[in-house]
Every structure is written in structure tokens, then in C-alpha cells.
Structure 1
Amino acid sequence: QECQIAGILGGDQGVKPAEANLFGGAGMGPGAYANGKPDIIFQGRAYEIVFKPMPQMVDGQIKTLTETVWQCYDMRTGEVFWEQTAGIATRGFGPFPTVFYAPTEIEYAGIANPGGGGDPQQSAEVFLIMVYGGRLIKWRPMTGEMAANVSIAPVSSGTYYRNGYCLSVQTLENGEHRLLNWTTFGSADGLASRVVSNITFPWSSIPDTTDYNVGIASQQTTVSEGGAYVGLTIRAASLTTGQLLWEKTFTDVTQYSTNTNNADHGKIAVLTEQGTIKAWNLADGSEAWTSDPMEYPWDEPGFGAYYVGSAYGKLIRPAYSGIYAYNWNDGSLAWKYESPAEFPYETPYIDEDGNTMYSWNIGGTIADGKLYIYNTEHSATVPITRGWKMHCIDIATGEQVWSVMIAGGASKHLSDVGPVADGYLTMAGSDGFMYVFGKGQSETTVTAPDVAVPVGTTMTIKGTVLDMSPAQPGTPCVSVDSVAAQMENIHHQMPLEGIHGDREIQGVEVLLTAIGADGSCIDLGTTVTNGYYGTFTFAWTPETEGTYDIVASFAGDASYGSSAASTGVVVGPATAAGGTIEPEHPIISTEVAIVIAVVAVAAIGAVAFLALRKRK
């Protein structure tokens, strides 16, 4: 769906290079965020802040003005269920988003009531919630109705670290910090009745580098001398006792950015300017491991995205020439994923062997054992580099699952890869459109002769298998290996045969079955559709008379859901053997034959008479 005016379809955002703050890190919009993709997905419904032209009364006149609305729409089709005006909670600037009064989290409020026989009767209430601006606000997901709007004073916000629970830091007048663990369940006004624990804490906020599984938070501070980075101080504190566990300063390492550090698996991992990742144990500060340096020339100084991800036992680092995955247990390199450029010298970025590579400089989304991430560069210039793609990478192996030449717009701070849920992935594209990737809806048709076919005679069965997804309805379903080329052609006008002219579009397999009136089934076989048109043709020679249902079935695959269709055909008696067939009665009588002969003679005479007149 269209997010904003963005120039030619398949091109870049409609902005001058000097004004391309979008590519400087602001993403599709200022941020519960208007960023060209949903903030929450729940039961197939996406919730998103959008800017929408709407008629408004101004000085007695109706004018069309841009209104900020909170929309709920079908994740698969884009159909809008409802929308309402969204107010501004705080206004941001640059890459820092404006926050709107709209939910950012989901709360599952479960209730167990004892029933007969000791079996509990489970019921649950679900709310979309926002913790911000000194308020806890709840909305009902199906209608958008506000269910609660209560104060959480004296704190203004909180970290929603698990379902129904937040952590907030309160700073007292004497400068003491208190770590409050409180629940979002219920509708009580005020924070006092919600607090589960209240302990002294060493810091004024909860760091992003907090491992909630082991209950330890970590701070990292760069040590500077004369404007130069010369060391690193790391601290760790317990979330359960509030005790400062340890603090150590290291003079042999400097960090790349606090945004590229990650706490997980009981460790704090720091990306260094020396091109390594160093990890310390959160419990006592002892060094756990140091990775090998990343590759020269672009990755060795740590250059790349302001992001390090963690999932499935891997630490994920998008550096400039490729994406590195390290094992959390020992820091060994599990794999490196690269995106070779379509042509030599297409970009200035190369790997260790001098091969031209597409760059990386943004975070991704990890779900279902896969990393979803797109190519970009730091503060990308306009027009953006051709050939950049969205990639789906297997976290376990580092192998590509798929890629398509549709990239996001943001290039520095905020990734344009959105939530993944219910089998669908969202992304705000660099062309001003939001894309939803996932299984498309298919439609199968089948036809057979409308007249009876003699037994033993070959008949033609025809049909189609078409993609009915709202993004490209009525287009051919194509094989898994051809989907990327199909999508690039439809949405970015790339040649179907690919940039190198070496791709051929293949269709999908269709199973044909004949079902007799007695319920008997005949497996007619399979055929493959034409990848360019979505059509198929199949020849069948029936061996038995009768009425049949011809069923065409497309089983579906990783790209499309299944579909089927049927038609009927009658198989009649065989045609009689060849030979002279004498009619039972004369076709015409003798009298009629005489009349026809006389008319013929008269006609010949008239023609001859006219010919003689012309000679005279």
C-alpha cells in the first residue's frame, strides 16, 4: 500500500539529495510511530500510524488537510477495519521519532477460575497498551475503543520486559534512584497499588544492554583523553537486588558505539573499534571470549550498522561488506553472509579478496529462525544503488532462503523492516510503498469440452493457476525459484529475464484427477503451467464411458496457498467403424431430382445468352 508520494514507482523517494533525511536515518516517517509499517500485529490485524488527507472545517470552509490517524487493517489484504485520530505524545526531530498516542505492546490478561472436577476454566482478555507520558493507556484490539487511561505517576514511562510487567526508574529529590517493578494488569489508577518491588538502583535509567533472563543490566562508557577514545568502562547491576555487581575499566579496547553492544546468554558483548567482539560474563566481569577480527578493509575497524542482534544462540553483526554471526558460547565465527554486486565495480565496497559487494548499514528483524535485512549504506545518497535487495537468511546456516530487489528506505538508525507475524513480513520500501511478504492467495480454473467426447478419443483439458494476492491479482503463479524475478518485474519494472538475461520464468505443477459417477478416481497425471501466462493444457484419452468430474489441484508451495477447481465432461459411445453407410430412405425423391436438373439447364442457358450479347 502507498505510504507517501515517492516519485516514479520503483524509484526513490521524491526528494532532492540534499533533503534526503529519509536516507539519513529517519525511515518512512517520524516514528507509535508513523514509519510506513505497522507497530503491532495481533491475530492477523496490523495497527499503524499513518498520515491521511481528510476534509476539515477551517474558518467556515472545508479544506483537505493532513490528519494523523491510527489504523487497523487486515495484514494479508490491506483492508482497513477502522481508524481514529491519533494525538501527539511528544514531538521528535531528525532521526528521533515523534511519538503518538497509540499502542506499542500487547497485554494478555489471563484469568483462571476453578471449575468442576478441578479443571480450570481459562479466559483471557487482550489489550493493546502504551506506557508513556506518565500514563498507562489500553485499547481493545477489535474496535480501537480505549479501555483504560490511568496515571503511573511519579514515573513517566517504563520498559515492558515481559507480559504484564514493566520496569521504571524513579529519581528522588535527594538524587537516589529507585527501580520499580510494576504490573500493567488491571485498571487501577496510580502506581502504588501496581508495584511488585521497589529497590535502590545505581542508575537513572535501565540500559538497553540488559539480560532479563539472568536479571543483570550493564552500562558501557567510553574513556576519553584529549578528545581521543582510550578505553572502556563496563558496569553491571542486579535487577533483583539493585546491587552494583562490578565495575571495570579496560585500556586495551574502545567500543564502536553503545548501539552495537548486546547483553544475552549471561554475557555483555561489545563491538570494538579494533574489529573484534569482546564478551564479559555479567555475573563477575571476567572475560568470556574475544572473536577474530572482521575482514579488511571495510569491516576491520568495526564499521557497519548501529545494530547487533541476538537470537538462536547467535550474535548477529551487519558490517559493511557482510553479515557476521558469532556463537555466544565461545565467540567463534559461525558464518558470514555476503551480497555480491551484480556487476564488478558497481559499488566501492569490497571484501577481503577484492570482490565488489553490496553494503549493509541497518538492523534487521529476526523471526522463525531467519534474519530479514536489506542492503543500504551509511546516509545513503539519492538515487540509491541499483541492485540492493531484501534478504531472508537462515540463522542456523547463514544460507540465503530468498532475496528480492526491493529494499527499505532508512539507512542509519531505524530499520524499515517491520514486524513479522502470522507468516507475513512487513517492510517500508524505498519507493514510498509498504510491502507485505508472505504466502499469496492462488486461484485455479479448469475447462473441458462442453459436448460428449467419444470413448477412446483424446480431449483437451485447459486451465489457469493465478496469483490473487491484492498486490498483483490475476498474475501467473510461478515456481519458487522464479518468484523474485516475478515480483521485481511487477513492482520495480525489472526485466523478467533478469539483469543478465539468464533467468527463465517457470510455472507451477498442477495435478489432474478424473472422478467417475461411481466415485472411482483416475489419476490423469501432472502438468506445469506456463510461467509467463499461468495457463496449462493437458490431453486425456478416456477408456470408459460415463460422466466425470475433472479436478485440477494446485498443492501450493512456499510462495502460494493451495487452490483447486473442477468441471464436468461426458464420455459417450465410440464412433462407428469406417465403411459405406447406406441410408434407410432416399435422400431426395425422383420428382425433386427432375426439377433440380431443369433449373440447372435453364441457368446454363441464361449464362450462355448473356455471353453472346456481350460479344455483339
Structure 2
Amino acid sequence: MNKLKNKIIVLAAIVILTLSSFVAVLPFAFAQPGTTWPSFPVLSVIPDEAGVGQEVLLSYGITRQTAWPQAGWTGITVSVTAPDGSTETLGPFMTDTTGLGGAVFVPTMAGTYKFVCNFPAQEVEVAVAGLEVGTTVSASHTPEIELVVKEGTQRNFFPDTPLPDEYWVRPIDAQNREWYSVSGSWLDTTYIQASYNRYAPYNDAPDTGHILWEMVQDVGGLAGGDRGWHSFEDGDAYEGKWGNPMVIAGTLIGRRFVRGTTTTYAVNVRTGEMMWEKVLGEDQGLELAPSFGQVFYWSTMNNHGCYAYLWATQGSTWHAFDPLTGRWEYSMTNVPGGSRVHGPNGEIMLYDIDIGDGTISIWNSTAAYYDMRLAELGDDNPLQEYQAGRWRPIGMTFDAGNGTQVQKSFPSNLIGSVEVVIPQDKVIGSNMEWAGGAAVQNPQIWAVDLRPGREGQLLWNKAWPLPDAGVHYDFAGSHPFSVEHDLFIITGKETRKHYAISMSTGNQLWATNAFEPYNNAYSNVYFQYWGQSVCYEDILITAGFGGVATAYNLADGSMRWQYEAGNEYGEFLFGNDWSIPCGFTSDGKGYFFHTEHSAIDPKPRGAPAICIDLDNGGEVWRIDGLRLGTRWGGQPIIADSVILGFSTYDNTIVALGKGPSDLTVTTPQVVGKGQPVQVSGTVMDASPGTKDAEAMLRFPNGVPVMSDGDMSEWMLYVYKQRPKPDNAMGVTVKIEAVGPDMSYMNLGTTTSDVNGNYGFSFNPEKEGTYTIIATFEGSGAFYGSSETTYVTVGGVSSGTPIEPEEPLAGFLTTEVIIVLAVVIAAIVGVGAYWMLKKK
């Protein structure tokens, strides 16, 4: 019986294995061409409750995917029945390769909407998941899906993340979406000066001159000894030590050593930490200098996100590096020339406008790679678009010729050169060349369309009537323009007047009439660094060598305000006011920094850095002696809400911004009832610069926090070793308590002193343990900080002496001793008796 059973098992196993081998060689496709296969449609309404006028997402499709290059299922519609019984059909829609797609629907009335997804029959074009080419996927529809719509807001959105109220660092968690507004980059000084018109959005621009950290760029400062008043050289003229700085996603990129071997370094803007320093391109046998930065967004089938690059150009070859590590990423050859701007997603665009040939070409950095990959993969490759869409240029060197997206012609009768390029809008040009400042004879201005599909179309070409003879007219150094107000500015060098021209028509709109200093004639149109005229919101701001900043209304050219940068001690030899070109505008404020061609030595003392309220011209803060700037020495920049600048006073980089604070609080552990409690502590600056070895030697107990009003002088004392300011004020500290019965008490406020200490006392009324809370709520210079401590209030006054216990010897009288001796003797005698008895 067992033998028979075993034989049956063996035969069964053979049959199973044989069948398995047959199955293994059968084709995977179960549906043959010409057959019909059922479809299983899906539809979701997200959310399923909403308010009138609020968007909802319709997710439609079927459960079966397609295979590339069949991009998805087509012809899908969604039938909608409104609460009033009316109907409409949405679509036709297409899915992606997952078999799903999405559309937005906005309900217009309260009640219940009903939706049905309709999938039309269609054939499989590329074999997928068991379905051969030619298989028909049958038509189908979903059951009704309901959406309940009510009056008013019904949808519940993910709560916003508040902007930082504490010191913040990178990386920024991607869920803190709102923080984009305080974390802008400074990618390219030349571009920001021109195409961005020195406007630096996406910053919580500093409200004081508080210093976060300082870094030595090169040997600098007073030489000392028998060199007397003379300081170390600062590089200028022509060899500035901090040329073309940039910040890419929180990383400051700078250069050292303009002569000999040049190194590039990266510093964390928020911490002051040196991240790397190297000869850029050394691994490729090159010695490169940083040219500009890039942060762009890439979104394709399976790849969505931003990429950051540090670019170093060498003729028509561009090299991309990782700003975080300095690693080489990829290179492009044969990059064309042209005006460099940034596109809507951060792509680099080159507008090559050849006036002589009457041609315009537009090159795109992302298309250079994408189109190169498309051509490399070939049109017959079913995965062509899929593979090209994956951003993987790392380690490659390729020809950038595929990046040219537009090549068109325009009228060849234009003269002059390009002045302003506004991406995907227009280019403005003229024949008003610098020519050493020669008087303009027959000014001609023109505009050419750059809007997609209209590139190269002439918008207008007009002669501009000269307001005055013998004057040099030109676009000011920063090429001021305003898209919102449809104008750009031309400036008269000698007259110091400014003229608004319509970008739409070329007609003059207005001219200024306010007096500007004579010295402005030397800077109005000469160099972006000295003669900035910038448009910000609804005003034109002019400033420069004359030392006076002036704001004009863009509506009519009338003067709104003027600010004079007084030179109290006459240190600046070329005027009664310090020259103050506008470095940049941000967050409703303008930042002006003294700049020279090349610093005289001994250097003029007290060169100002000034922040002005652009609404009314009021001074927000001013530091006299923070930095002395030069034409080639690198202009101050702002990124991640931090101002960065180079000073020839000591050849250092200084970072200004709102810093962290550190508060401590102490009390006695125990006090008696009725006794006052002394609350004391410190409020200290916790910025990165206060942790440097030099600062810790001078301030072993920490750098005290000072009031905003005293911040400028205090920073000069802390970082520039200037005299300690008299009567400097600390900050307000709020003292609160929670009593033993959990009752809240606002005890009051006190002010910290010049050493950072504060004190406060109060009289607790109840016994028990109190929680003491000390808080510095923050200021323009500092984020706030808080700390707690505990004190116990006892039932006996700490001033009442407690009687000590009597020592034991005081109770051992003679009688007691005799009794104890008798007892001990009796115990010993009894013990001896029993021992003898046992023997």
C-alpha cells in the first residue's frame, strides 16, 4: 500500500513538473491581437466636500497602464450633473502611462454634484502587461461619484509654516514652503545690476547693521610699526580682492588671489563655516574663476526638482560645478555669445542680437542637454523622451549647439547696440554709446519683440529729440526700467536729469527737474558701480558720486524725497557728502555703500553703509566705518536675508543680518516666605562671529546684546576694535511667573546693561514652587530667546534662627550610667552561666 502511494506521489510530481515546463515556454501575453479585454475605470473627486468656487481635483482613468511610447489612454470624458440637474461633459482627456490623469473642476453652486468617468474603447499600441498590440480595451464607465458643495470655504488646507522667528540655517525642510520668501540667491552680480535692476527680492532684509560673522579675505588693515598710518594694499585699482561674489542656495562663492594661482572657496552664509577651497577645475587640468550661479527647476516624466550649479566660463566652453562641494559636474562646448539672462524656470538664456545682420537667436541651457540627448538616442528609440528627460549630464562634455531654440530675422536698419534685455518680452537698443562721454548728436532708440512666437518683430524705432545740446545722454549704469510702469530711463550726464521713455511706444513720458549734486555728473552714466539709477516699485532712485540719494515718482517724475550722506569730518576729499551708490533694494529698503575708484592711503575714516526706508527716505540705520568699498573690490550683495560685503579697511568679508540671542536666568533655590526673590541673568549675542577665537579672547563671558539704536557703534566696538560706546543700552527682558496654584503673573520688565547682565526682584505671596520665565522678545538685530528657572518659597522665614538639637551627651546623667552598667553586667553573667552548664 505504501509503495503504491509513493508511486502515485512520484507520478504526480512528474506531471506537475512537466506542466510547469510547458507554462514556462508559453508567451507572457494572455490576450492575442484582435481580442477584446475588459477595462476597469476609476474616478476620484478630491476632496469630496468643497465650497462654491473652490477647486477640486478629478482623478480619472483605468487600472491598466500603457507602455512607452504609447503615452497613455485617450478620449476619456467625465460627465457632470449639477445640483440643478444641468449637465456638462469635461474632456476629452488623456492619461499618462500609469493609466491615470487629472483635471481641475470648480463648482459654481451649492448642492450635490455627480460625476461619471467614461472610457472609450481603444487599441493597445505597445504590448504591455499581457496585452498584445492590437488588443481592444473595451469601453466602460464608473458609477456616479458625488461631490457635496456648500456655501463658504469648506476645504481644509495644510497649515502654512510661519516665517522664521528663530535663527535658521540650511537646508530648509521642503515642507516650509513659505520660507522661499526669505531665502533668495544672488547668482550673478552683472545680471542683477542690469536685468534685475539691482532689485533683490526673497529676503528679510536687515533692519540694523548687526554683524553675524567676519572672515579674513587677505592680509589687511594697518601695517603697524614704522609704516605709520599706512595699511596693507587692497588690490584696486583693477585687481580687486573680492570680484564677482555670488550666493547659490545659501553658499557664498568667492575668490582669493587675483594674481598667480587663484583659488575659489565656498562659505555657508548662515553659519560662516568654510565648506571648501580649491583651484576650480584643477582635477580637469584647468584653473578657472567662478562666473555666475544657477538654480533651475526641471520637471519631466519621472524627474521633478531644482538643480544648483556654479558656472565657470572659458571662452565658448562652460564648466558646471556643484556649489556645495566644488565637484565638477559637466561641461558644454561651443556655447554661443549673447546677452545672458535667466528664464522663468531658472534656465540660462542667451539672446544673440546681431544688429548688422538683422538676426536674433535664443539659446537655452537646459535645451542644450535635452535636445542633445534626443538626437543621441534617435527618433526610432521608444525610450527616447523618457531617457532624455532624466537630468543626467554629470561627467559629460557635449556640444551646446542643440540649445539654440529660436533663429529669426528682424529689420536690418537699426543702429547702435542692445541696452536692455527683458526675457520673453522685449529688447531695447540705442546708438547712445559711452564714447568717453562725448555729447550725443542724433539719438535713436528702438525696441524688438521677444515674446514667444513674435521674436524679431520690430515694435518701434524712433529718433529722440535732444533736450539740451552738448550733453552726453545714455542709459544709466544699471539700465533702470519698470515693466509695471512701462518705461525705461535715460540720463543726461552733465545736467543730472532723467527722462522716462515708454517701452510700448518710444515716446518720452516725463523729465525730472530736481537739483542733484554736481558730482553726480562724474558717475551718472559711468560704471554701474558708481552711478546706479534703479527702479523700485513706483520710484526711480538715483545716487552716486554726489553723495545724495534722490527718489522720483515713476508716475510723473516729481521728487519724493532726498537723503544726504553727510561727511562730518571731511575724510572724503571729493565732496561734502560721501559718495553712496545704491548697492541693491530689498524688502522696502535701499542699501547704499560708499565706493571709490581705488582707496587713498591713509584710508579715509568713517565710510558709511546706509539703509534707507524707500517709502519716505528716512534713515533706518547707518554705520560709519563698517566698510570701505572700491570699484573692482566686489560690491555688497544680499542672499538668504544676509548682507555680505568686502572692506578694504581690513580686507575682510563681513556678514550682516538678524542674529540669534542666548538668555540665561537664575534665582535662589529656596527663600523664606516674605523674603524677596532676586531674578538675574544675561542676554548674549549667539551669532557665529562671537564664537571666533579672537572674539572669545576679548569677550570671555560672551558678547552682550545691545539695543537697535546702539547697534552700529556696538558692532564697530566688537568687530573693528573701536572704542567702547558710552551709555550703550541693552534690551528689555520680560519677567513672568507661574505660581504654586498654577496662576500666571506678569511680574514686569527690566533692561540688560552694557555687560549683558540684568536683575529683577519680586515678593512672592504664597508658599510653594514658582516657575520663573525670563524672555527677550527679540529686536531688529536679534531673534528672541527665553529660559525658565524655579524657586521654592518656604513656610518659615529664612531670617528666623532654628534651634540646634541637644547633643546626646547632655542626657547621660550619673544615675543613667550606673543603671546601664548593672544591666550589662547581668547580661554577661547570664551568658557565662549557660556556657558552663553546657560543659
SS at match of 1:484: helix
Deviation sequence 1:486-516 (CA, Å, 0-9, x none): 011222333333xxxxx63111111222234
CA distance in 1, matches of 2:430, 2:571: 41
Aligned equivalent of 2:298: 110
Q: Secondary structure at the match of 1:575?
A: coil
Cα deviations across residues 524-581 of structure 1 (Å, max 9, x unaligned)?
2211100x100011112221122233222111111011212222222111329979x9
Alpha-carbon distance in 2 for matches of 1:485, 1:159: 41
- Among 229, 233, 253, the alignment partner of 2:443 is 233
Instruction: Say yes or no: does 1:144 pair with 2:326.
Output: yes
Whether contact under 8 Å (2:241, 2:633) holds in the other structure is no
Task: Write out aligned runs for 1:62-77 (5 A).
Answer: 67-77=261-271
Could you tell me which amino acid in structure 2 is paired with residue 271 of structure 1? T
Say which SS state the counterpart of residue 229 (structure 1) adopts. coil
Q: 1:268 to 1:524 in 2, by over 3 A?
A: closer
CA 20–479 in structure 1, closer or farther in 2 if over 3 Å, else same: closer
Q: Please tell me the residue identity of whatever aligns with 2:251.
A: R
Residues 248 and 310 in structure 2, CA contact (< 8 A), matched pair in contact too? no
Correspondence for 1:317: 542
Per-residue CA distance 1:247-295 (angstroms, 9 max, x = gap)? 4254435336655343434333122121211222233332211111433
**Matches of 2:461 and 2:613 in 1, distance apart?**
37
The structure richer in helix per residue is 2
Q: Distance in 2 between matches of 1:234 and 1:546?
A: 86
Displacement of 1:170 in angstroms is 7.1
2:248–2:293: 8 Å Cα contact kept in structure 1? Answer: no
Contact 2:549 2:562 in 1 (8 A): yes
Give the stretch that moved more between structures: 372-381 or 555-564. Answer: 372-381
In 2, the alpha carbon distance for the partners of 1:386 and 1:428 equals 16
Give me the whole-angstrom Cα distance separating, in 1, the residues matched to 2:810 and 2:229: 89
Note if contact 2:672-2:798 (Cα within 8 Å) is conserved in structure 1.
no
**Equivalences for 1:69-108 in 2 at 5 Å?**
69-87=263-281, 100-102=288-290, 104-108=292-296
Correspondence for 1:342 among 543, 555, 568: 568
Distance 1:468 1:195 in 2: 51
Indicate the residue corresponding to 1:47 in structure 2.
253
**Is contact 2:222–2:231 with CA below 8 Å preserved after alignment?**
no
- Is 1:246 the counterpart of 2:461? The answer is yes
Instruction: Please say if 1:123 is aligned against 2:304.
Output: yes
Q: Distance in 1 between matches of 2:298 and 2:326?
A: 20
Map 1:401-480; keep pairs closer than 5 Å.
401-412=620-631, 416-418=635-637, 420-431=638-649, 432-450=651-669, 452-473=670-691, 474-480=702-708
In terms of mean alpha carbon deviation, does 182-191 or 456-465 score higher?
Answer: 182-191
Deviation at 1:428, TM superposition (A): 0.7
Which residue is equivalent to 1:359?
Answer: 579
Alignment partners' CA distance in 2, 1:357 and 1:7: 24
Q: Which of the pair is proportionally richer in strand? A: 1
- In structure 2, what residue type is equivalent to 1:183? N
- Candidates 738, 745, 750, aligned match of 1:522: 745
In structure 2, do the counterparts of structure 1 residues 221 and 205 end up closer, same or farther at CA, with 3 Å as the change threshold? closer
1:134 aligned partner: 316
The residue type paired with residue 463 of structure 2 is K
Instruction: Find the residue that maps to 2:441 and give its secondary structure.
Output: strand
- Partner of residue 308 from structure 1, selected from 527, 533, 536: 533
Q: Provide closer, same or farther for how the CA distance between residues 435 and 402 of structure 1 changes in structure 2, counting only shifts above 3 A.
A: same
Look up the SS of the partner of 1:471 in the other structure.
helix
1:211·1:264 contact (CA, 8 Å) conserved in 2? no
Match of 1:130, SS?
strand
Distance 1:541 1:384, change over 3 A: same
2:404 equivalent to 1:195:
yes
TM-score by length of 1: 0.76
1:600: which partner in 2?
A: none
Match of 1:282 in 2: 503
Aligned CA distance change for structure 1 residues 17 and 545 (closer, same or farther; 3 Å): closer
Correspondence for 2:16: none
Equivalence for 1:267: 487
Residue 607 of structure 2 corresponds to which residue in structure 1? 388
Give the equivalent residue in structure 1 for 2:732.
509
Query: Which one has the largest radius of gyration?
Result: 2
Name the CA distance, whole Å, in 2 between partners of 1:190 and 1:4.
Answer: 39
Does the Cα contact within 8 Å between 2:415 and 2:444 map onto a contact in 1? no
* One-letter amino acid of the counterpart of residue 309, structure 2: L
Partners in 1 of 2:234 and 2:609 — Cα distance?
A: 21
Supply the distance in 1 between the matched residues of 2:559 and 2:521 (Cα, whole angstroms): 14
Contact persistence 2:672–2:796 (CA under 8 A): yes
- TM-score (ref. length: structure 2): 0.57
For 1:255 and 1:111, how far apart are their aligned partners in 2?
Answer: 48
What is the identity, as a one-letter code, of the residue corresponding to 2:752?
A: T
* 1:364 counterpart SS class: strand
SS of the equivalent of 1:472 reads helix
Structure 1 contact 453–572 (Cα < 8 Å) conserved: yes
Question: Aligned letter for 2:731?
Answer: V
Identify if the C-alpha distance between structure 1 residues 145 and 21 changes in structure 2 by more than 3 Å, giving closer, same or farther.
Answer: closer
Task: Supply the distance in 1 between the matched residues of 2:798 and 2:718 (Cα, whole angstroms).
Answer: 53
The residue aligned with 1:612 is none
Cα RMSD of the aligned pairs, angstroms, is 3.9
Question: Which residue number corresponds to residue 292 of structure 1?
Answer: 513
Q: Is the 8 A contact 2:663 2:786 kept in 1?
A: yes
Identity of aligned residues (%): 24
Question: What letter is aligned with 2:446?
Answer: A
- Report the CA distance between 1:68 and its aligned residue: 3.0
Instruction: Give the match for residue 341 of structure 2.
Output: 160
**Given the alignment of the two structures, is residue 485 of structure 1 paired with residue 713 of structure 2, yes or no?**
yes
- Paired residues, what number? 533
**Cα distance in structure 2, aligned partners of 1:177 and 1:15:** 58
> Which residue of structure 1 aligns with residue 26 of structure 2?
none
| Counterpart AA for 1:74 | N
Report the equivalent of 1:546.
768
In the TM superposition, residue 70 of structure 1 has moved relative to its aligned partner by 2.9
Unaligned 5+ segments in structure 2 are 1-214, 373-397, 692-701, 814-839
